[in-house]
Structures are given as C-alpha cells and as structure tokens.
Amino acid sequence: MLKNLHMCFFCTNFAANLGNMASRILIIDSDITLSTVLSDYLDSRGYKAQRVSDGKTGLDVLSSEHFDGVLIELQGIGMNGYELLKEIRNRLPDIPLIILTTRTDREDQMRAFQLGCDDYQTKPFSMDILICRIEAIMRRIKAFEENKQRVFELNGKVFDATHQTFDGKHMSSRESDLLLMLCRQEGEVVDKHKILSALWKEDNAFTARSLGVYINHLRAFLKSADYEIIAARYKGYKLINQNLKS
C-alpha cells in the first residue's frame, strides 16, 4: 500500500468494461522510481500503464494516442501542474478527473474543481482506495455511455446500434460499434487511436489494417443513405452527409 503520493488522476471517455478490458493510463511524472512503482501497481490491477517524465511530452502523447486515464504529478514536470490540467481539459473536455495532492488549502481545492476535477483527495492515501475511486468513475462513465443515443436516422435509413441493424439489414457487432462511434460525432474526425483502443483493445499496424477493412464495409452500407466516411490522413475518420455538402 503506497502513501504520500503527490499525483493527479484523469480518466477519459470510453471507460473500460471493468471485467474484460484493460484501461490505458498515462503517467506524467519526473520521479522515475515512483512512476515505475505506480506503473507496476496499476499493471498488476489489470490496467496498462505508460510513463513520460514531463508535461509537454505527455500532451504530445495524448494528442497521438488514446488513453483511459492520466496520472500527473503537479510539480517537477517542466510546467505548472494546474496549467497542464487546464490544457488537457481544453483538449479533452469530457475527461473525468481526480486530483491526489498534498495541497489541502480550500483555495487549491476550489481552483481544481473550477478547472473541472470530479474528486479531490489529499495525501496520504491508499493505492487500493485510489483503484476503487478509479473503478467507480469508470462505472459511471460506462453507464452514461450505455444511456446515450443508439438509434440514428440517416437520410431516411435507420441505424439501430442496439439491434445492430442498418435499414433492416443485420450488421456485425464491430460494424455496429464502429458506426455508432462515427454517428455520435457526425461531421467530426474520430481519432483512429481512440477507435482502435475502444473496439480492438490494441493499437498497432495489424489492427489499423483491420479497421480499414471495416470502414469499407460501412461505406457499402452507407452508400444507399447518401452518407460517406472520409479518411483524415494520420488522424482518423469522419462521417458526413453528402446531401449537406456545398
């Protein structure tokens, strides 16, 4: 049981299905010994942890890969911890957040909540309790995701993610899950790393090729609805309504 950690925790959308999916957590911490111990502990509890030693590198990694959580030390990371928190919140506005810190002043706690944190814990704390808090947030996010819209009308064609059908035609579960992600962000680029981590649970060259195959499957479904999926090079995919193109 570890105590006296001076860290923050951020937990993203697409939270883990706690029973069968490993959530990816990024650790931003200049203390190599501490971050290694923390990483090993998280790995032992079923998470997949990755470490970087400064805030700028952390932002770069978050821009190119999908993570389900980020652990951040407030000091010694090359930039102010609250500024890093603010930047991550601006880039990823829906990320739930827990702060773990030695700062007990009311003003510090108010500042953190104003920046969007969901919980504020001061040291010393138990790693077991930290895991329980992470999992509680994961469960809330999972319940929220399950209650979001799952039926979409695309130019007269109905996509039903619950029954995995498009215009009455059956789809595979992966086709349905992929189209659901695109529909929920219609007109916006959905990051390919986010897709791969959420649906394939792995982000590598093999799964990227598999994603391309499923995108082509969906294009065949969507043709009758005058919708198309556009690839944004090196970024991801975007679902657009051809009837609304200028």
28 bridge partner residues:
52, 72
pLDDT at 16: 39
Distances (CA, A) of 212 to 67, 157, 196, 201: 21, 23, 11, 16
Q: Which tokens belong to 203?
A: 């982000």
pLDDT at 68: 79
Residues of the chain with pLDDT under 50: 1-20
227 bridge partner residues:
241
pLDDT tens digits, 35-48 = 898 889 889 988 89
d(CA 118, CA 114): 10
pLDDT at 139: 83
pLDDT at 67: 79
Domains of the chain (ranges; CATH) run 7-145 (3.40.50.2300), 151-244 (1.10.10.10)
pLDDT tens digits, 126-147 = 888 878 887 888 788 777 777 7
Q: Which tokens belong to 40?
A: 């090993």
Per-residue H/E/C for 87-143:
HHHHHCCCCCEEEEECCCCHHHHHHHHHCCCCEEEECCCCHHHHHHHHHHHHHHHHH
